[in-house]
């Protein structure tokens, strides 16, 4: 893999970097993304490829199952990577739009539905997926491994994340006065279909 990555870097340097030097220099001086995209860390998702965007256009926050945790008191112990990234993008960069992008065949949602009784209570995955624990109750007991079950649960998890976004006062305020647009999408990695999701 190391050689493949370095070979790819050389192609990037000789191709895209050389052909877009002025644009890259301008981008290096300013950081003005037009959209915050909260999506899964699944390696099969490549946001800039899916949405045909250039570097600098998307402020991408990736985590397991594209979840947004609820806002917690800053004094509460813990490391809040997703919350910190959101706060920086919204309050410092003033990015005008947030999109929560879920996807089909999500391993995080699959583990929540199929393995919830087997996940170790103290594991990082278990604690993280507990953000959307009620989603597992939407699974049909007779069809736990059915694609439609996962599809329903994946979309429900996006809805929970959209709801959790509004628990951050600096997001809710901007959404109410029209400075910030919030949307949810579900992407099918098998056929490329994009579906809108609401709370």
Positive or negative torsion for Cα 191, 186, 138, 110: positive
* Tens of each residue's pLDDT in the chain, 199 residues: 669 999 999 999 999 999 999 988 988 899 999 999 999 999 999 999 999 999 999 999 999 999 999 998 766 667 799 999 999 999 999 999 999 999 999 999 988 888 765 666 678 888 899 899 899 888 766 566 778 888 999 999 999 999 999 999 999 999 999 999 999 999 999 999 999 998 7
CATH of the domain spanning 32-197: 3.40.1050.10
* pLDDT confidence of residue 114: 84
Cα separations in angstroms, 139 against 69, 142, 145, 160, 186: 22, 9, 9, 16, 18
Residue 25: in which H helix or E strand, if any? helix 21-29
* pLDDT confidence of residue 136: 86
* pLDDT confidence of residue 167: 97
Q: Residue ranges per domain, the chain?
A: 1-30, 32-197
Cα separations in angstroms, 4 against 7, 29, 110, 151: 5, 30, 31, 34
The two three-digit tokens of residue 147, written as one number: 């694609």
* pLDDT confidence of residue 144: 67
* pLDDT confidence of residue 116: 66
């Amino acid at each position: 893999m190391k050689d493949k990555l370095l070979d790819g870097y050389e192609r990037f340097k000789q191709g895209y970097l050389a052909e877009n030097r002025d644009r890259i220099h301008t981008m290096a001086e300013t950081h003005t993304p037009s959209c915050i995209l909260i999506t899964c860390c699944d390696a099969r998702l490549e946001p800039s490829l899916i949405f045909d965007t250039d570097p600098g256009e998307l402020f991408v926050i990736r985590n397991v199952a594209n979840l947004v945790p609820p806002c917690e008191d800053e004094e509460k112990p813990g490391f809040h990577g997703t919350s910190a990234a959101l706060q920086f993008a919204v309050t410092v960069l003033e990015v005008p739009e947030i999109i929560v992008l879920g996807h089909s065949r999500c391993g995080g949602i699959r583990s929540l539905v199929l393995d919830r009784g087997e996940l170790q209570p103290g594991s990082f995955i278990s604690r993280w997926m507990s953000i959307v624990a009620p989603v597992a109750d939407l699974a049909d007991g007779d069809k736990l491994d059915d694609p439609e079950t996962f599809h329903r649960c994946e979309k429900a998890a996006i809805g929970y994340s959209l709801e959790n976004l509004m628990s951050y006062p600096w997001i809710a305020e901007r959404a109410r006065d029209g400075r910030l647009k919030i949307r949810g999408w579900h992407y099918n990695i098998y056929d490329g279909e994009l579906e809108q999701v609401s709370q």
